[in-house]
Structure 1
Amino acid sequence: MERKILKTEDGSHTLYVPDMDEHYHSIHGAKQESMHVFIDAGLNMHSGKNLTIFEVGFGTGLNAFLTAVESKRQQRNIKYYTIEKFPLQEQEWQKLNPEPASENEENKLFAQLHNCQWEKLNKINATFQLQKIEGDLTSFNFQALPQFDLVYFDAFAPDKQPKLWSPEIFAAIFAHMTKDGILVTYSAKGAVRRTMQSAGFQVERIPGPPGKREMLRGRKP
Protein backbone atom coordinates (compact mmCIF):
# COMPACT_ATOMS: atom_id res chain seq x y z
CA MET A 1 0.00 0.00 0.00
CA GLU A 2 1.51 3.31 -1.11
CA ARG A 3 1.32 6.01 1.60
CA LYS A 4 2.45 9.63 1.51
CA ILE A 5 3.21 11.74 4.59
CA LEU A 6 1.34 15.05 4.81
CA LYS A 7 1.49 17.81 7.41
CA THR A 8 -1.98 18.83 8.62
CA GLU A 9 -3.10 22.30 9.68
CA ASP A 10 -2.15 21.87 13.35
CA GLY A 11 1.38 20.80 12.44
CA SER A 12 0.91 17.08 13.12
CA HIS A 13 1.34 14.48 10.39
CA THR A 14 -1.09 12.17 8.65
CA LEU A 15 -0.78 9.69 5.80
CA TYR A 16 -2.49 9.78 2.42
CA VAL A 17 -3.30 6.63 0.40
CA PRO A 18 -3.48 7.57 -3.30
CA ASP A 19 -5.11 4.32 -4.41
CA MET A 20 -8.03 4.95 -2.05
CA ASP A 21 -7.92 8.75 -2.16
CA GLU A 22 -8.12 8.60 1.62
CA HIS A 23 -6.33 10.27 4.54
CA TYR A 24 -5.64 8.58 7.86
CA HIS A 25 -6.71 11.75 9.71
CA SER A 26 -8.35 15.09 9.09
CA ILE A 27 -6.24 17.50 7.05
CA HIS A 28 -7.58 20.22 9.38
CA GLY A 29 -5.43 18.73 12.14
CA ALA A 30 -4.56 15.11 12.87
CA LYS A 31 -3.86 15.60 16.55
CA GLN A 32 -6.82 17.87 17.23
CA GLU A 33 -9.15 15.42 15.48
CA SER A 34 -7.89 12.49 17.56
CA MET A 35 -8.10 14.52 20.76
CA HIS A 36 -11.67 15.61 20.02
CA VAL A 37 -13.09 12.31 18.78
CA PHE A 38 -11.30 9.71 20.88
CA ILE A 39 -9.92 11.44 23.98
CA ASP A 40 -12.46 14.16 24.77
CA ALA A 41 -15.59 12.38 23.46
CA GLY A 42 -14.45 8.89 24.43
CA LEU A 43 -11.82 8.43 27.13
CA ASN A 44 -12.83 11.49 29.13
CA MET A 45 -16.50 10.49 29.05
CA HIS A 46 -15.85 7.14 30.77
CA SER A 47 -15.60 7.19 34.54
CA GLY A 48 -13.63 3.96 34.92
CA LYS A 49 -10.26 4.07 36.63
CA ASN A 50 -9.17 0.80 35.01
CA LEU A 51 -10.10 0.55 31.34
CA THR A 52 -9.81 -1.92 28.50
CA ILE A 53 -9.80 -0.12 25.15
CA PHE A 54 -10.12 -1.62 21.66
CA GLU A 55 -9.10 0.40 18.62
CA VAL A 56 -10.13 -0.44 15.07
CA GLY A 57 -7.08 0.56 13.05
CA PHE A 58 -3.74 1.22 14.78
CA GLY A 59 -2.69 3.28 11.75
CA THR A 60 -0.02 5.83 12.64
CA GLY A 61 -0.32 5.04 16.34
CA LEU A 62 -1.62 8.53 17.11
CA ASN A 63 -4.70 7.44 19.09
CA ALA A 64 -2.66 4.99 21.14
CA PHE A 65 0.01 7.63 21.74
CA LEU A 66 -2.46 10.27 22.96
CA THR A 67 -4.20 7.70 25.15
CA ALA A 68 -0.89 6.62 26.69
CA VAL A 69 -0.06 10.25 27.46
CA GLU A 70 -3.49 10.73 29.07
CA SER A 71 -3.26 7.50 31.06
CA LYS A 72 -0.14 8.81 32.77
CA ARG A 73 -1.49 12.33 33.22
CA GLN A 74 -4.83 11.13 34.62
CA GLN A 75 -3.33 8.14 36.48
CA ARG A 76 -5.74 5.69 34.85
CA ASN A 77 -4.71 2.10 34.20
CA ILE A 78 -5.35 1.20 30.57
CA LYS A 79 -5.00 -2.02 28.60
CA TYR A 80 -5.13 -1.05 24.94
CA TYR A 81 -5.79 -3.56 22.16
CA THR A 82 -5.68 -2.58 18.50
CA ILE A 83 -6.05 -4.41 15.20
CA GLU A 84 -4.31 -3.35 11.99
CA LYS A 85 -4.29 -5.10 8.62
CA PHE A 86 -1.58 -2.94 7.02
CA PRO A 87 1.07 -2.02 9.65
CA LEU A 88 3.46 0.83 8.89
CA GLN A 89 7.06 0.08 8.08
CA GLU A 90 9.73 1.51 10.37
CA GLN A 91 10.92 3.93 7.70
CA GLU A 92 7.37 5.32 7.56
CA TRP A 93 6.54 5.84 11.23
CA GLN A 94 10.00 7.26 11.99
CA LYS A 95 9.13 10.26 9.77
CA LEU A 96 5.89 11.00 11.60
CA ASN A 97 5.47 13.77 14.13
CA PRO A 98 2.54 12.92 16.42
CA GLU A 99 2.88 16.14 18.41
CA PRO A 100 3.98 19.48 16.96
CA ALA A 101 7.14 20.53 18.83
CA SER A 102 7.09 17.27 20.80
CA GLU A 103 9.45 16.67 23.70
CA ASN A 104 12.12 13.98 23.72
CA GLU A 105 10.12 11.93 26.22
CA GLU A 106 7.10 11.96 23.91
CA ASN A 107 9.24 11.02 20.90
CA LYS A 108 10.55 8.05 22.88
CA LEU A 109 7.02 7.01 23.83
CA PHE A 110 5.86 7.15 20.20
CA ALA A 111 8.81 5.01 19.12
CA GLN A 112 8.17 2.57 21.96
CA LEU A 113 4.58 2.03 20.82
CA HIS A 114 5.76 1.18 17.33
CA ASN A 115 8.77 -0.88 18.36
CA CYS A 116 7.02 -3.08 20.90
CA GLN A 117 6.23 -6.67 19.96
CA TRP A 118 3.08 -7.52 18.01
CA GLU A 119 0.60 -10.17 19.25
CA LYS A 120 1.70 -9.64 22.87
CA LEU A 121 0.49 -7.40 25.70
CA ASN A 122 3.43 -5.05 26.31
CA LYS A 123 3.90 -2.95 29.43
CA ILE A 124 4.71 0.53 28.07
CA ASN A 125 4.78 2.31 31.42
CA ALA A 126 3.18 2.07 34.87
CA THR A 127 -0.30 2.96 33.58
CA PHE A 128 -0.42 1.78 29.95
CA GLN A 129 -0.23 -1.65 28.30
CA LEU A 130 -0.50 -2.23 24.55
CA GLN A 131 -1.21 -5.23 22.35
CA LYS A 132 -1.04 -4.75 18.58
CA ILE A 133 -2.78 -7.37 16.48
CA GLU A 134 -2.00 -7.79 12.80
CA GLY A 135 -5.19 -9.04 11.24
CA ASP A 136 -8.48 -8.47 9.48
CA LEU A 137 -11.38 -7.16 11.57
CA THR A 138 -13.91 -9.04 9.40
CA SER A 139 -12.55 -12.42 10.55
CA PHE A 140 -11.29 -11.49 14.02
CA ASN A 141 -12.27 -13.56 17.06
CA PHE A 142 -13.16 -11.06 19.78
CA GLN A 143 -13.32 -13.84 22.37
CA ALA A 144 -9.52 -13.87 22.40
CA LEU A 145 -9.58 -10.51 24.23
CA PRO A 146 -11.11 -9.23 27.48
CA GLN A 147 -14.35 -7.26 27.23
CA PHE A 148 -14.05 -3.65 26.10
CA ASP A 149 -14.99 -0.62 28.18
CA LEU A 150 -14.25 1.76 25.34
CA VAL A 151 -13.96 1.34 21.57
CA TYR A 152 -12.23 3.72 19.16
CA PHE A 153 -13.79 2.93 15.78
CA ASP A 154 -11.26 4.53 13.43
CA ALA A 155 -11.48 2.53 10.22
CA PHE A 156 -11.26 4.22 6.83
CA ALA A 157 -14.51 5.85 5.74
CA PRO A 158 -17.58 3.64 5.11
CA ASP A 159 -17.50 4.30 1.37
CA LYS A 160 -13.82 3.20 1.27
CA GLN A 161 -14.06 0.08 3.48
CA PRO A 162 -17.76 -0.80 3.72
CA LYS A 163 -17.11 -4.32 5.06
CA LEU A 164 -15.66 -2.85 8.25
CA TRP A 165 -18.87 -0.92 8.96
CA SER A 166 -21.20 -3.91 8.65
CA PRO A 167 -24.03 -4.85 11.04
CA GLU A 168 -22.16 -8.07 11.86
CA ILE A 169 -19.05 -6.25 13.06
CA PHE A 170 -20.94 -3.71 15.18
CA ALA A 171 -23.01 -6.53 16.68
CA ALA A 172 -19.87 -8.50 17.54
CA ILE A 173 -18.25 -5.45 19.15
CA PHE A 174 -21.42 -4.62 21.09
CA ALA A 175 -21.64 -8.19 22.43
CA HIS A 176 -18.03 -7.97 23.65
CA MET A 177 -18.40 -4.66 25.50
CA THR A 178 -19.06 -4.11 29.18
CA LYS A 179 -22.26 -2.51 30.46
CA ASP A 180 -22.12 1.28 30.03
CA GLY A 181 -19.28 0.84 27.52
CA ILE A 182 -18.73 3.61 24.99
CA LEU A 183 -17.97 3.49 21.27
CA VAL A 184 -16.85 6.63 19.44
CA THR A 185 -16.27 7.23 15.74
CA TYR A 186 -15.58 10.25 13.59
CA SER A 187 -18.34 9.19 11.18
CA ALA A 188 -21.77 10.82 11.34
CA LYS A 189 -23.40 9.01 8.43
CA GLY A 190 -27.04 8.05 8.91
CA ALA A 191 -26.34 4.50 7.75
CA VAL A 192 -23.64 4.11 10.43
CA ARG A 193 -25.96 5.49 13.11
CA ARG A 194 -28.71 3.05 12.11
CA THR A 195 -26.27 0.14 12.04
CA MET A 196 -25.04 0.99 15.52
CA GLN A 197 -28.62 1.25 16.79
CA SER A 198 -29.53 -2.11 15.25
CA ALA A 199 -26.60 -3.67 17.15
CA GLY A 200 -28.04 -2.35 20.43
CA PHE A 201 -26.18 0.92 20.99
CA GLN A 202 -27.86 4.03 22.30
CA VAL A 203 -26.49 6.51 19.76
CA GLU A 204 -26.13 10.26 19.90
CA ARG A 205 -24.88 12.80 17.41
CA ILE A 206 -22.41 15.19 19.00
CA PRO A 207 -20.31 18.07 17.63
CA GLY A 208 -17.46 16.92 15.44
CA PRO A 209 -13.85 18.12 15.29
CA PRO A 210 -12.80 21.17 13.23
CA GLY A 211 -13.87 20.71 9.63
CA LYS A 212 -16.63 18.23 10.53
CA ARG A 213 -20.05 19.22 11.85
CA GLU A 214 -20.96 16.01 13.72
CA MET A 215 -19.71 12.62 14.91
CA LEU A 216 -21.31 9.61 16.61
CA ARG A 217 -21.07 8.20 20.13
CA GLY A 218 -22.77 5.00 21.22
CA ARG A 219 -23.31 3.49 24.66
CA LYS A 220 -24.14 -0.05 25.69
CA PRO A 221 -27.07 0.16 28.11
Structure 2
Amino acid sequence: MSTPMERPIPVTESWPAPAPAPVVPPPSPKSAATLIVPVLVGCLVAAALGVYGKLHEPTGIAVNVAGFSSPQTVKVWLATLAGFLALVQLFTALVMYGKIKLFGGASWLGAVHRWSGRVAFITSIPVALHCLYALGFAEYDTRVLAHSLLGCFFYGTFATKMLLLAKKGVPNWALPFLGGLVFTALSGLFVTSALWFFTTFGVKF
Protein backbone atom coordinates (compact mmCIF):
# COMPACT_ATOMS: atom_id res chain seq x y z
CA MET A 1 0.00 0.00 0.00
CA SER A 2 1.48 3.31 -1.02
CA THR A 3 1.47 6.36 1.20
CA PRO A 4 1.06 9.91 -0.07
CA MET A 5 4.25 11.96 -0.26
CA GLU A 6 4.69 14.49 2.49
CA ARG A 7 4.76 18.09 1.42
CA PRO A 8 8.03 19.88 2.27
CA ILE A 9 7.76 22.46 5.01
CA PRO A 10 8.56 25.91 3.57
CA VAL A 11 11.57 27.60 5.07
CA THR A 12 10.65 31.12 5.98
CA GLU A 13 13.93 32.32 7.48
CA SER A 14 17.57 31.33 7.34
CA TRP A 15 19.65 30.23 10.29
CA PRO A 16 21.64 31.78 11.76
CA ALA A 17 19.88 35.09 11.23
CA PRO A 18 22.02 37.84 9.64
CA ALA A 19 23.44 40.35 12.07
CA PRO A 20 21.79 43.74 11.91
CA ALA A 21 23.78 46.51 10.25
CA PRO A 22 25.54 48.79 12.73
CA VAL A 23 23.75 52.03 13.31
CA VAL A 24 26.02 55.06 12.98
CA PRO A 25 24.59 57.91 14.99
CA PRO A 26 24.52 61.24 13.17
CA PRO A 27 26.80 63.97 14.54
CA SER A 28 25.01 65.84 17.25
CA PRO A 29 24.55 69.61 16.88
CA LYS A 30 26.13 70.01 20.31
CA SER A 31 29.39 68.33 19.27
CA ALA A 32 29.51 70.32 16.04
CA ALA A 33 28.98 73.52 18.01
CA THR A 34 32.22 72.91 19.92
CA LEU A 35 34.09 73.73 16.70
CA ILE A 36 32.65 77.21 16.19
CA VAL A 37 34.70 79.27 18.66
CA PRO A 38 38.08 77.55 17.98
CA VAL A 39 37.58 77.88 14.22
CA LEU A 40 36.68 81.57 14.56
CA VAL A 41 39.76 82.16 16.73
CA GLY A 42 41.92 80.38 14.15
CA CYS A 43 40.51 82.57 11.38
CA LEU A 44 41.23 85.69 13.44
CA VAL A 45 44.82 84.55 14.08
CA ALA A 46 45.42 83.91 10.38
CA ALA A 47 43.85 87.22 9.38
CA ALA A 48 45.76 89.20 12.04
CA LEU A 49 49.10 87.77 10.89
CA GLY A 50 48.29 88.55 7.28
CA VAL A 51 47.23 92.13 8.04
CA TYR A 52 50.29 92.79 10.20
CA GLY A 53 52.63 91.32 7.59
CA LYS A 54 51.03 93.44 4.87
CA LEU A 55 50.99 96.73 6.81
CA HIS A 56 54.37 96.37 8.56
CA GLU A 57 57.34 97.98 6.82
CA PRO A 58 59.88 95.15 6.22
CA THR A 59 63.23 95.66 7.95
CA GLY A 60 65.24 93.12 5.95
CA ILE A 61 66.66 91.40 9.04
CA ALA A 62 65.10 89.99 12.19
CA VAL A 63 66.76 86.75 13.31
CA ASN A 64 70.41 85.77 13.03
CA VAL A 65 72.46 83.04 14.69
CA ALA A 66 76.24 82.88 15.00
CA GLY A 67 77.77 80.31 12.68
CA PHE A 68 75.33 80.87 9.82
CA SER A 69 76.21 82.95 6.79
CA SER A 70 72.96 84.97 6.74
CA PRO A 71 69.53 85.28 8.36
CA GLN A 72 68.13 83.52 5.29
CA THR A 73 70.14 80.38 5.96
CA VAL A 74 69.02 80.41 9.60
CA LYS A 75 65.45 80.53 8.38
CA VAL A 76 65.76 77.69 5.88
CA TRP A 77 67.53 75.34 8.31
CA LEU A 78 64.99 75.99 11.05
CA ALA A 79 62.24 75.38 8.49
CA THR A 80 63.97 72.13 7.52
CA LEU A 81 64.02 71.00 11.16
CA ALA A 82 60.35 71.88 11.54
CA GLY A 83 59.57 69.94 8.36
CA PHE A 84 61.40 66.86 9.66
CA LEU A 85 59.52 67.04 12.96
CA ALA A 86 56.28 67.29 10.99
CA LEU A 87 57.14 63.95 9.37
CA VAL A 88 57.69 62.50 12.85
CA GLN A 89 54.26 63.84 13.81
CA LEU A 90 52.65 62.23 10.76
CA PHE A 91 54.34 58.87 11.31
CA THR A 92 53.49 58.63 15.02
CA ALA A 93 49.89 59.71 14.34
CA LEU A 94 49.47 56.98 11.70
CA VAL A 95 50.84 54.39 14.13
CA MET A 96 48.61 55.55 16.98
CA TYR A 97 45.52 55.47 14.75
CA GLY A 98 46.39 51.96 13.62
CA LYS A 99 47.15 52.86 10.00
CA ILE A 100 50.70 51.55 10.36
CA LYS A 101 51.16 48.32 12.32
CA LEU A 102 54.38 48.94 14.22
CA PHE A 103 55.60 48.97 17.82
CA GLY A 104 52.48 47.18 19.08
CA GLY A 105 50.83 50.36 20.35
CA ALA A 106 53.79 51.37 22.50
CA SER A 107 52.93 53.93 25.16
CA TRP A 108 55.93 56.13 24.33
CA LEU A 109 54.49 56.98 20.90
CA GLY A 110 52.13 59.50 22.46
CA ALA A 111 55.00 61.33 24.14
CA VAL A 112 57.02 61.38 20.90
CA HIS A 113 54.00 62.73 19.02
CA ARG A 114 53.35 65.49 21.55
CA TRP A 115 56.96 66.61 21.96
CA SER A 116 57.76 66.54 18.26
CA GLY A 117 54.79 68.83 17.72
CA ARG A 118 55.88 71.18 20.50
CA VAL A 119 59.46 71.40 19.25
CA ALA A 120 58.27 71.89 15.65
CA PHE A 121 56.09 74.80 16.77
CA ILE A 122 58.89 76.39 18.82
CA THR A 123 61.26 75.95 15.88
CA SER A 124 58.80 77.69 13.58
CA ILE A 125 58.54 80.83 15.74
CA PRO A 126 61.91 82.38 14.72
CA VAL A 127 61.04 81.59 11.12
CA ALA A 128 57.68 83.35 11.45
CA LEU A 129 59.29 86.34 13.15
CA HIS A 130 61.78 86.67 10.32
CA CYS A 131 59.06 86.35 7.68
CA LEU A 132 56.71 88.87 9.32
CA TYR A 133 59.19 91.41 10.65
CA ALA A 134 61.94 91.28 8.04
CA LEU A 135 60.02 90.36 4.88
CA GLY A 136 56.33 91.02 5.49
CA PHE A 137 53.39 89.58 3.56
CA ALA A 138 54.76 89.58 0.03
CA GLU A 139 53.05 88.70 -3.25
CA TYR A 140 55.50 89.60 -6.02
CA ASP A 141 55.44 86.06 -7.47
CA THR A 142 53.40 82.88 -7.10
CA ARG A 143 55.84 81.11 -4.77
CA VAL A 144 56.12 84.05 -2.38
CA LEU A 145 52.35 84.59 -2.33
CA ALA A 146 51.76 80.89 -1.63
CA HIS A 147 54.37 81.00 1.15
CA SER A 148 52.74 84.02 2.76
CA LEU A 149 49.25 82.49 2.62
CA LEU A 150 50.46 79.13 3.94
CA GLY A 151 52.20 80.83 6.87
CA CYS A 152 49.00 82.57 7.97
CA PHE A 153 46.98 79.40 7.38
CA PHE A 154 49.42 77.27 9.39
CA TYR A 155 49.22 79.38 12.55
CA GLY A 156 45.46 79.81 12.26
CA THR A 157 44.93 76.05 11.92
CA PHE A 158 47.41 75.31 14.69
CA ALA A 159 45.57 77.69 17.05
CA THR A 160 42.27 75.97 16.23
CA LYS A 161 43.72 72.53 16.93
CA MET A 162 45.25 73.57 20.25
CA LEU A 163 41.97 75.06 21.43
CA LEU A 164 40.08 71.88 20.53
CA LEU A 165 42.50 69.72 22.50
CA ALA A 166 41.22 71.26 25.73
CA LYS A 167 37.51 70.87 24.88
CA LYS A 168 35.16 67.97 25.54
CA GLY A 169 32.63 66.62 23.08
CA VAL A 170 34.76 67.32 20.01
CA PRO A 171 33.78 65.18 16.97
CA ASN A 172 36.15 62.26 16.45
CA TRP A 173 37.15 63.43 12.97
CA ALA A 174 38.06 66.99 13.98
CA LEU A 175 41.53 66.54 15.47
CA PRO A 176 42.85 64.16 12.76
CA PHE A 177 41.46 66.49 10.10
CA LEU A 178 43.07 69.57 11.64
CA GLY A 179 46.31 67.67 12.20
CA GLY A 180 46.33 66.85 8.50
CA LEU A 181 45.79 70.51 7.62
CA VAL A 182 48.64 71.58 9.93
CA PHE A 183 50.95 69.00 8.35
CA THR A 184 49.94 70.05 4.83
CA ALA A 185 50.52 73.73 5.58
CA LEU A 186 53.92 73.09 7.16
CA SER A 187 54.95 70.89 4.24
CA GLY A 188 53.93 73.64 1.84
CA LEU A 189 55.97 76.16 3.83
CA PHE A 190 59.02 73.91 3.60
CA VAL A 191 58.61 73.43 -0.15
CA THR A 192 58.17 77.16 -0.85
CA SER A 193 61.08 78.25 1.36
CA ALA A 194 63.79 75.79 2.39
CA LEU A 195 63.46 73.36 -0.52
CA TRP A 196 63.30 76.24 -3.00
CA PHE A 197 66.41 77.79 -1.42
CA PHE A 198 68.39 74.53 -1.54
CA THR A 199 67.45 73.81 -5.15
CA THR A 200 68.17 77.41 -6.22
CA PHE A 201 71.30 78.35 -4.26
CA GLY A 202 72.57 74.98 -3.05
CA VAL A 203 73.03 73.71 0.49
CA LYS A 204 74.58 76.51 2.53
CA PHE A 205 75.10 77.24 6.20
Higher strand share: 1
TM over 0.5: no
Task: Identify the structure with the greater helix proportion.
Answer: 2
Q: More relative contact order in 1 or in 2 (CA 8 Å, sep 6+)?
A: 2
- TM-score of the superposed pair, with normalisation by structure 2: 0.26
Instruction: Choose 1 or 2 for highest CA Rg.
Output: 2
**TM score, norm. by length of structure 1:** 0.25
